[in-house]
Amino acid sequence: MIDTIKSTIADLRSDMIAWRRHLHQHPELSFHETDTVRYVVEKLRAEGVEVRDGVGKLTPGSPGTGAIALVKGEKAPSDACIAIRADLDALPITEVGKEAYRSKSPGVMHACGHDAHTAMVLGAGLALHRLRAQWSGTVMLVFQPGEEKEPGGASLLVKEGVFNDPKPSGILGQHVTPELPTGKLGFRSGAFMAAADELYITVKGHGGHAGSPHLAIDPVPIAAQLILALQQVVSRRNRPGQPMVLSLGKVIANGATNIIPDEVRIEGTMRTFDEAWRTELHRMLPELGRGICEGHGAKVDFTIVKGSPVVKNDPELTARIREAAIAYVGVENIVDMDIRMGAEDFAYYTHVMPGCFFRLGTGNPTKPGTQSGLHRAEMDIDEDALELGAGMMAWGAIRELAR
């Protein structure tokens, strides 16, 4: 069956490249993937695949920008079902490079590989549909919106009950990985990727003339003290050896050379692996902020938006998919991964069903941008990896259904 899958996927290679490049040129931000999901649905329905669109509603009554497709094997009657997932959204980044297929949407770019994820799940689904006489059961294709933005499209699909009928026995997902060479697959059992929370902080002082700081309550140095204190939580309050990251990526003090501003706005992210420690941080950090700011006569609004939990790779499912990968590409192309402080809303699936989230190597030193980090303006993938990614999803799904 492996050779049949590889051959069918190879026939779809040029299509997958075209799909990926179309999506790359027409990226859409989280929960605005209207044209993206329409494009995917049209490809599936053109081949007779059953599709339900309009899922992943951000608010009641809003148009959902996700879709669920059911590819059904016809070899023998079976109630077995396995899901494979792709994410649709892009990022607010202005792209550089890729003259042939650069984003046509100003300030929006597929810098995290979701265009490739979508093309590969689409390719896997159509390959399985063409081979449906040779296998039994149902493969659910999950095309979800909003992976990059809270509350996470995965959480919405779970709440909407899209996995209730049919009910998958597990779900597979993958992510392009520039630091892995093309042709490699990376696996880790158990906790794999961090829980992620967003921090929104406003330090409120009293502005004034920069030459008369004694008549103001300057929020800038107070914010600076708070930023340093938050980093000391990581280095001094966190248990040594316990993974944690706190990064503040946005600081706005909108004064001038001679103006002390009224407030400083700070935004960032917190990544953890221990749920009890995460809960304690939700209590501790706002308390720390109030103490520092009030001690200087300022006030603070300190909001923590709880995001996705830890990605938990089911040990048994992951072991089986890893063995399937060895059969598909050879043990020499299997890499054991360390934990990653990046977050993934795929985590929501792994808390309601067995999940396996693995990494797909897309780095190639001979192709510009393919070794660039994710979320960067020059990020690209080696499109030779599309065949392996699509084939591995199809083969992994069939292996699970055969159980």
Return d(Cα 37, Cα 28) in angstroms, integer: 10
Residue 212: count of CB within 10 angstroms of its CB: 9
Which structure tokens are listed for 163? Answer: 């996995």
Judge whether 272 and 347 are in contact, CB under 8 Å: no
CA terminus-to-terminus distance, the chain? 15
Q: What angle do CA 289, 247, 177 make, to 5 degrees?
A: 155
Judge whether 105 and 89 are in contact, CB under 8 Å: no
For the chain, count helices (H), then strands (E). Answer: 10, 16
Return d(Cα 278, Cα 197) in angstroms, integer: 9
Active site residue 323: no
Catalytic residue, candidates 28, 33, 147, 197: 147
H/E run at residue 389? helix 385-402
Catalytic residue, candidates 53, 89, 344, 380: 89
39 contact partners, CB below 8 Å, separation of at least 6: 19, 22, 23, 26
3-class DSSP state for residue 382?
Answer: coil
Return d(Cα 147, Cα 264) in angstroms, integer: 29
H/E run at residue 328? helix 315-329
Angle between the N-to-C axes of helices 114-130 and 385-402, in degrees from 0 to 180, rounded to the nearest 10: 50
Phi, psi for residue 218 in degrees, rounded to 5: -75, 115
User: DSSP secondary-structure letter at 376?
Assistant: -
Judge whether 179 and 235 are in contact, CB under 8 Å: no
Judge whether 401 and 139 are in contact, CB under 8 Å: yes
Judge whether 364 and 384 are in contact, CB under 8 Å: yes
Q: What is the CA radius of gyration of the chain?
A: 23
Active site residue 314: no
Q: How many residues does the chain have?
A: 403
- Please give the positions annotated as active site: 89, 147
